[in-house]
Amino acid sequence: MRIAVVGTGYVGLVTGTCFAETGHTVVCLDVDARKIETLRAGGIPIYEPGLEELVRRNVKERRLTFTTSYAEAIGGAEVAFIAVGTPPGENGEADLQYVLSAAEDIGRHLTRPCVVVDKSTVPVGSAEKVAEALGRVAQHPFDVVSNPEFLKEGAAIEDFMRPDRVVVGVASDRGRAVMAELYAPFVRAEQPVLFMDLRSAELTKYAANAMLATRISFMNEMAALCERLGADVDQVRRGIGSDRRIGHPFLFPGVGFGGSCFPKDVRAVMTMARHVGLDFDLLRSVERVNERQKRWLVEKATKHFGSLAGKTIAVWGLAFKPKTDDMREAPAISVVEGLLGAGARVRAHDPVAAEVAVRLFDGRGVVLADEPYAAAEGADALMLVTEWNEFRQPDLARLKTLLRQPVLLDGRNVWDAAKVRAAGFTYYGVGRNVS
């Protein structure tokens, strides 16, 4: 098939590239000319493991091209994916202006019947609005489909190629048939394509992220209880995770969740609920716990030192999670701002997010080190914020010589508390106050 993808962020670029990898002809469009120039030159504007190689291979095979022209992208397209941003508005609801603008531009440039697919995370009822926008300008028949994405940054290629499930909201037989054909190569191992109505598909994305965020905040509350009662949250986590009804994923306490999905989608669900007269108190608590958890590291350090004024604090990890350079709503932002607000100096290192951090902390006095031990040199304490693999087994003897004071604050509970304490460090973990 000939496929157009509008938007070349995480979702759009991964979607277009993976469809090209299975033999389709894909044109990716973006209104950002610099981004398109970067892609045409062989560069990747985002950090996603494995993506650069796939893009280059499919560009070389002429299955994948990039453009800023709707006429070039949409002309002849059998399927058009909308994968543009839906930033939260002032009231927490997703802003549809970019989605609806893309829909109108797609409609104006249709040259044949086309299935238009909402890939962006959009509120319930958005498919009807997209259909209205298309209907005002389109001169050819179209079908609107909702196909929410469930890609994890850092594992997006694997998630697309080997999905747990594919959710597709349809209102026509043609839309269903086209989407079944498109996804057939990715579900040969019996992973299901779940066809449902449009509104249910739209809500499924929000429901999934809200549930995962709830599990994280639940464990952070349990970690706080463990600290008060003298229990070890890691042992509690193993105990409940072994229950098949619960399972282990997303039961790891830490300094909170961030990124482009969980915070935004939790707020969006609360907003949608409020519009229909429902107070979603559970998610209000999830959000409140998450914001509190982001302050945990600074509060622990303040309690330890009495005052952070004049102290130098090393921070390992700035991205909201490993294997990405994404710092949108990253806990590290709250940590760094909290440290600076308390009068501390900050030396930080992240394997890939340094360029993003430079823009975020420009003029704030944050020193970004090229490697982790350079960040730790001369610091009064070291905070682990993002659990990159290279931080999991630190050279404790080396750290002992570099740090001015042997204080480690583990915001992700990845270090062996007994081992660290035996090496002569004062150690703080989330909900792990057992000596």
The alpha carbons of the chain give a radius of gyration, in whole angstroms, of 24
220: domain CATH number?
Answer: 1.10.1040.10
Q: In whole angstroms, give the CA distance from residue 394 to residue 373.
A: 9
**Domain interval for residue 287:** 205-291
Of the chain, the percentage scoring pLDDT greater than 70 comes to: 99
- Residue 258 and residue 336 share a domain: no
Percent of the chain at pLDDT exceeding 90: 92
The answer to whether residue 80 scores a pLDDT higher than 60 is yes
Q: Are residues 283 and 310 in the same domain?
A: no
Least Cα distance to 301 among 417, 384, 415, 216 occurs for: 384
Identify whether 226 is a catalytic site residue: no
20 and 136 part of one domain: yes
pLDDT in tens, 3-45: 999 999 999 999 999 999 999 999 999 999 999 999 998 889 8
Both tokens of 255, joined, read 């300094």
| Domain edge (last residue) among 196, 213, 232 | 196
Q: How confident is the model at residue 208 (pLDDT cuts 50, 70, 90)?
A: very high
Query: How far apart are the C-alpha atoms of 384 and 256, rounded to whole Å?
Result: 13
Are both 53 and 159 inside the same structural domain? yes
Asked if residue 260 has pLDDT above 90, the reply is no
pLDDT at position 189 over 70: no
Annotated catalytic residue, options 18, 28, 226, 261? 261
142-146 sheet: strands from edge to edge:
64-67, 25-29, 2-6, 79-82, 114-118, 142-146, 166-169, 193-196
Q: Are residues 306 and 373 in the same domain?
A: yes
